Amino acid sequence: MKFLDSIEIKVKAGRGGDGVVSFMRSKGKPKLGPDGGDGGTGGSVLIVGTHRLNTLSSLRYRAIYSAEDGVRGGSKRCRGKCGEDLILPMPVGTVVYDDATGEKIGELLAEGEELLVAIGGRHGLGNVHWVRSTHQAPEEFRPGALGEEKDLKLELKLLADVGLAGFPNAGKSTLLSRVSAARPKIADYPFTTLVPNLGVVELAGDDYIQRAFVMADVPGLIEGASEGRGLGLQFLKHLERTSVITYLIDVANPEQQPAEALRILMDELANFSPELAGKRSLVVLNKIELVEPAELELQAQLLTAAGHEVLTISAVTGQGLNSLKQRLYTLVSEEKLNQSLLVDPVPVVDMDERTNSPHA
């Protein structure tokens, strides 16, 4: 299925069923009183997050997604059936906007998380609601209300712990395939990766404690990506939710020094989003099997002197990959801990203070 991370759709909640004007009848007798029932409430439209999907492509085959209308009420005070809600499964990481106003409605960050995007129409009322001592045979009723109708813009931002940022042919896909079970397309020419790829990186350890993190490989950036050049702008958003940015640099590239490559990459991320550029980062020099040890040490020292944490690896031979996985896992764990500490703790209420009673 074609990868799709942005789409516009129209959703329409169901109309409420009309109330009814009806009177009790008996053979040979006139009207005995009102008994018109209420209509059913229109179905609402909800979206729900699921890990079983990783693209919005399944939504492109319909122009309008409509919930079921409520059914008209009946006699003998019978209420009409409520319309069925329409539940649309979407990938975890989907952000929902009102396309007309640009307002963010919400986002799906967990499996099974639901978001109500269009409310079903109010049910109609039967004529029994208009009975008064001076109005015994009402013929008034309330029709069902229309359900909400919205144009939505959906954007998918992948949920990953580590995001790989690098130029085309830097070895991101090779690295992802070596440290996880992901199998992205790999070739010796640029732009082989045209869609983001996710992989779960597992670390060896205690059988009862799973140590793992999710790594995302996005299509290669080029200078000017934040301004729309190449594929970078389209996929930079997938790095926004990552905890750690890994700048993967081809240390064997004769046309570009690692320090210059890193500067361009960091500038592109900063131009796209200052928050993205401010994330915890790690610089990884790849393809070390193609350079002399002295040159590799020199380049690593230059980056370290500039204040960057640097690791060296060969995604092809596997050299340095275990150290890289261990370090990334540590960085991700530290970032998650920092995020949890930012949440205000629940205040502990003294029982005596809560009841305004003095201590014994």
3-state secondary structure of 59: helix
Checking if the pLDDT of 20 tops 70, the result is yes
In eight-state DSSP terms, residue 230 is T
In sequence order, what are the residues at sequence separation of 6 or more whose Cβ sits closer than 8 angstroms to the Cβ of residue 220? Answer: 166, 167, 168, 169, 170, 172, 190, 191, 193, 230, 231, 232
Last residue of a domain, one of 100, 134, 156: 156
Q: What SS3 class is residue 36?
A: coil
| Res. 307: pLDDT tops 70 | yes
Q: Is the pLDDT of residue 50 over 70?
A: yes
How many residues are given for the chain?
Answer: 360
Query: Is a pLDDT exceeding 70 seen at residue 332?
Result: yes
In this predicted structure, the answer to whether residue 100 has a pLDDT above a threshold of 50 is: yes
The pTM of the whole model exceeds 0.75: no
155 contacts 6 by C-beta, under 8 angstroms? yes
Q: Note whether 139 and 20 are within 8 A (CB).
A: no
More confident residue, 241 or 357: 241
In this structure, the answer to whether residues 140 and 273 fall within a common structural domain is no
Other beta carbons within 10 Å of 346: 6
Residue matched to tokens 């109330």:
19
pLDDT of residue 198: 77
Pairwise CA distance, residues 287 & 167, whole Å: 13
Q: Where are the alpha helices (DSSP H) in the chain?
A: 172-179, 232-235, 258-272, 274-277, 293-305, 321-342, 351-354
d(CA 45, CA 300): 54
Q: With pLDDT > 90 as the criterion, what percentage of the chain qualifies?
A: 49
- Asked whether residue 360 is domain-assigned, the answer is no
**358 band by pLDDT with thresholds 50, 70 and 90:** very low
Would 349 be classed as within a structural domain? no
Residue with tokens 């500490």: 341
Range of the domain at 183: 162-342
Does pLDDT of 34 surpass 50?
Answer: yes
How much is the average pLDDT of 140-165? 90
Of 104, 123, 156, the position where a domain reaches its end is 156
In this model, does residue 46 exceed pLDDT 50?
Answer: yes
- For residue 323, pLDDT over 80 is answered with yes
Q: Are residues 150 and 196 in the same domain?
A: no
pLDDT tens readout for residues 165-218: 888 888 888 898 888 876 655 445 344 444 677 788 888 765 444 578 888 887
Averaged pLDDT, 56-82: 91
| CB-based contact 75:20 (threshold 8 Å) | yes
Q: What is the pLDDT of residue 67?
A: 96
pLDDT exceeds cutoff 70 at 295: yes
Instruction: Indicate the angle between helix axes 172-179 and 321-342, nearest 10 degrees.
Output: 90
Q: How many CB atoms lie within 10 A of CB 206?
A: 7
Which of 140, 156, 172 is the endpoint of a domain?
156
Task: Report the pLDDT value the prediction gives residue 3, as an integer from 0 to 100.
Answer: 59
The pLDDT, as a whole number, for residue 191 is 42
* 68 has pLDDT over 80: yes
Which two three-digit tokens encode residue 67?
Answer: 């919930």
Give pLDDT, residue 336.
79
pLDDT for the residue numbered 158: 72
Cα–Cα dist 13/65, whole Å: 8
CATH of the domain at 309: 3.40.50.300
pLDDT score at 350: 47
* Co-location of 304 and 327 in the same domain: yes
